[in-house]
């Protein structure tokens, strides 16, 4: 992950995840700071683009089911309407950390 900003700190790092992009589940790792959620794919994917989601831009963070059946997904909707879907283990804890970071971020702004 790139360098942190002057007021930024890591909440969790290297959480195994898949970013659902079209028909491909891009494998990689999630990093959460107090300012952003970052997904960095590993090199074995066809799609190797990483994504950074600013905490302040998130309007909805919710549990979802992969293929409508498996309860292991997180869906994040941005104020722009863009939707990101991730498959993770321990999604309740991850959602709780993201929501808490968002709450803290809103208090600072």
* Fold of the 10-108 domain: PH-domain like (2.30.29)
Helix (H, G, I), strand (E, B) or coil at 92: helix
pLDDT(14) > 80 = yes
The per-residue pLDDT for 6 is 87
The per-residue pLDDT for 75 is 96
Q: Report the predicted TM-score, pTM, of the whole model to 2 decimal places.
A: 0.86
Tell me which H or E stretch contains 71. Answer: strand 70-78
Task: Give pLDDT tens digits for 42-87.
Answer: 877 666 778 999 999 999 999 999 878 899 999 999 999 999 999 9
The domain locations on the chain are 10-108
The per-residue pLDDT for 45 is 66
Q: Which of 65, 61, 96 is nearest to 75 (CA)?
A: 61
């Amino acid at each position: 992950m790139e360098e942190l900003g002057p007021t930024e700190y890591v909440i969790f790092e290297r959480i195994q995840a898949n970013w659902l992009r079209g028909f491909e589940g891009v494998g990689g790792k999630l990093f959460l700071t107090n300012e952003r959620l970052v997904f960095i794919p590993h090199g074995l994917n066809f799609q190797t683009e990483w994504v950074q989601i600013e905490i302040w831009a998130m309007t909805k963070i919710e549990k979802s089911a992969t293929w409508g059946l498996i309860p292991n997904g997180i869906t994040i909707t941005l104020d722009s309407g863009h939707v990101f879907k991730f498959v993770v283990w321990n999604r309740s804890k991850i959602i709780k950390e993201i929501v808490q970071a968002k709450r803290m971020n809103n208090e600072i702004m």
